[in-house]
Copies of this chain bind each other. A is one copy, B any other.
Amino acid sequence: MSFPSPTIKEILERYKVIWALNHASSLMGWDREVNMPEEGIGGRSLAAAEIAKLVQKLMLDEEFVKLIDKADGEELTDIERGVVRMLKRDLKFYRKVPPEIVAEFAKVTSEAFVAWRTAKEKADFKVFAPYLERVVQLARVIADKLGYEEHPYDALLDLHEEGLTSRDVENIFSTLEPGIRRLLDKISTSGWPKHHPLEEEPYDRRSMEEAIREILATIGYPERRFRIDVSPHPFTIGIASPFDVRITVRYPPKDFKEPLFSAIHEFGHALYELGVDEALAYTPVGTGVSLGVHESQSRFWENIVGRSRQFVSLISPILRRHLSNLARYSDEDIYYYFNVVRPSLIRTEADEVTYNLHILLRYRIERLMIAGEVKVTDVPSLWNEEMERLLGVRPRNDAEGVLQDIHWSHGSIGYFPTYTLGNVIAAQIKYAMGFLEDAVASGDFAKIKEWLRERIHRWGATYPPKELVRRATGETYNPSYLLKYLENKYR
């Protein structure tokens, strides 16, 4: 992996300062969640905004843009093409969406966030509605500025997942929706556990921290490149991939699978960033290519590996050593505790069977809002009806319905589908890999990680998501593997 083109070399030389600013922004974001004293927020926000403006200015620097255009006309290696592609993606946004709109969007979403928080506390959508309306209007303006072929929502999808279209998403859900609903019907009458007593049991936090550290060490990570901290919302960040990658975990007072699986989930993200080829460090392709591919890595480890029988057998001795109450439970018990299936109202608490129906609901509503085909004020009733139709449960109020997610208040529209895409790709990987169960059963994580690194991680953002998935699994997005995986597991 190298960069033979002199034009690309010059681009990368000039890109260093942009990388440096992004590095600083990442660290500032991580620190805000993990360490920052509360009243540091004013200075931190000021600095983040100033640095974002500076990045935009440096990206739009005339000579830099000329170099990119020049490189775009040259014979390039795959990696070099990746560099140009990633830079052009950023440039497209900066050029087509005027700074005034970006500034207005920042202002509207910061107000919308406050309104959302109040609305959720009061379980009253009306408080949030006017802000959501403005968010949707602005998102539509941004979609129009960016352009699209078939549907304005596609422009927003592409912002979050390069190349993803409504057509892709429709194709995925046209398989998943009937398949999952059929499966849910079967599960509901099969006696598969809907609840487990461990969900209500508290655990010792320090013991759980140790257990998690030991379990992640069993999978394996480079100690001098990785760290684990605590924050209110778990996340992963490549501060300087692949040399400095960090995850955070949250410890609710009961139900130890929560911190366990959120840690394994984030660890999946981290392995991706840790696996990027060192030669790509500090370049525009030196990080995971997209949210969807990233989510495929986190879901692969969290669900497909983490909730498997083989993994339970492997880690149950560690868990038993740290959590005394587990003496009362067999590995079989733990397996069912990890895999309770229960249609529920809250997305973040959903199991792997029902999860994608929560995404489908959000996707449909977002697309209608952006097209102006549903009025924002009608969204709560639409939400509740769809919820009942898809999952057979109905929110008692807006807080456990339409107001549950923070994302719309942040202006993230076109983002949720990347979660389902991640689940879809994760299952494709499982079947393309072939040896997963055996490798997990024998604790041969090196083999699994090697497969992922060779086919996915090392490339960073060299290939666009669809091409990367095709190269790694032999085909593009194919939801039938996810269905097959779920049907095999929950039959």
Contacts and interface: CB of A to CB of B under 8 A. Distances in A.
Contacts of A27: 24, 27-28, 31
Contacts of A23: 28, 43-44, 47
B244 A36 contact: yes
Contacts of A281: 42-43
Contacts of A24: 21, 24-25, 27-28, 47, 51
A20 B51 contact: yes
Which secondary structure dominates chain A's binding surface?
A: helix
Contact of A35 (B25, B227, B243): B227
In which size bucket is the chain A interface? 35 or more
Interface string A41-75: 01110111111011000000000000000000000
Nearest to A238: B43
A53 B17 contact: yes
A189 to B, nearest CB: 50
A185 interface: no
Given A224-B38, A225-B37, A226-B37, A46 B16 contact: yes
Nearest to A35: B227
Contact of A43 (B40, B50, B240): B240
A286 to B, nearest CB: 10
Interface in A215-261: 222-227, 239-240, 243-246
A170 to B, nearest CB: 41
Nearest to A17: B50
B43 A243 contact: yes
A44 B240 contact: yes
A43 to B, nearest CB: 3
A94 interface: no
B31 A46 contact: no
A47 B239 CA distance: 11
A355 interface: no
Interface of A: 16-17, 19-21, 23-25, 27-28, 31, 35-40, 42-44, 46-51, 53-54, 222-227, 239-240, 243-246, 281-282
17 contacts: A16-B46, A16-B50, A19-B46, A19-B50, A20-B48, A21-B24, A21-B50, A21-B54, A23-B47, A24-B51, A35-B227, A37-B225, A39-B222, A39-B224, A40-B244, A42-B243, A44-B240
Given A37-B225, A39-B224, 11 more contacts: A16-B50, A20-B48, A20-B49, A23-B43, A24-B24, A36-B239, A36-B244, A37-B246, A38-B225, A39-B225, A40-B240
